[in-house]
Structure 1
């Protein structure tokens, strides 16, 4: 039961952080490209890589990794935005979004793991 509550607490704050950051970024950047989701997912990939490799206790990994990062990152939003780009026939943006999200996401996670294991 404790693990369940820890994950839920982290997810609530992760979701609120994601929402706040999305609103802020949309006000700063007026663009058809889904920059907020892209940046949130890249930072989330880096942070999750760091969290799981940094030697934190299992409770902190549940709180920050499973909970907070699960609420913070936006896999479902990412998928819907890809479909919207496809439906609008913005194939160049769609290809860029997919390539950069997956490519840089993997790189960010790798760098987070490197940093986490070096501490």
Structure 2
């Protein structure tokens, strides 16, 4: 199957899942949740012997549309603009740390499964 269709199909599902999380968890919590969950999924994919098609659908498509660096960056910038430097640093550092832990956990899950 065409790689563009695989990535696009996964992207549609990822975008819909992202919207569903945002509807459920309004605000910055949704951004953190999707970024950490996406990191777990992508971490597990890297440790699981999947074919190229599955990596395109789930990795590039779904995770690419589900996670969001741009929303994270806007959130941090808003904290800075409001003079909330500690909150900005905590949010940025905490999200990054949680996402990295998510990759490690996902990688472990991918090897165990």
Question: Deviation at 1:92?
Answer: 2.2
List per-residue Cα deviations over 1:4-51 (Å, max 9, x = no partner).
Answer: 11001111110111011111111xxxx7xx111011101110111012
Matching of residue 110 in structure 1 with residue 93 in structure 2: no
- 3-state SS in 2 of match to 1:55: coil
Q: How many residues matched?
A: 113
Q: What is the match of residue 43 of structure 2?
A: 49
2:42 & 2:4 partners in 1: Cα distance?
19
Q: What is the match of residue 10 of structure 1?
A: 10
Question: Deviation at 1:52?
Answer: 2.2
Question: Deviation at 1:89?
Answer: 1.3
Q: What is the match of residue 77 of structure 2?
A: 83
CA RMSD of aligned residues (A): 1.3
The two structures have a TM-score, normalised by structure 2, of 0.93
Match of 1:39 among 18, 33, 42: 33
- 3-state SS in 1 of match to 2:49: coil
1:65 & 1:53 partners in 2: Cα distance?
12
Following TM superposition, the consecutive aligned residue runs of length 4 or more in structure 1 with deviations greater than 4 angstroms are none
2:64 & 2:46 partners in 1: Cα distance?
13
The two structures have a TM-score, normalised by structure 1, of 0.89
2:11 & 2:82 partners in 1: Cα distance?
32
Unaligned runs of at least 5 residues, structure 1: none
Question: Deviation at 1:114?
Answer: 1.2
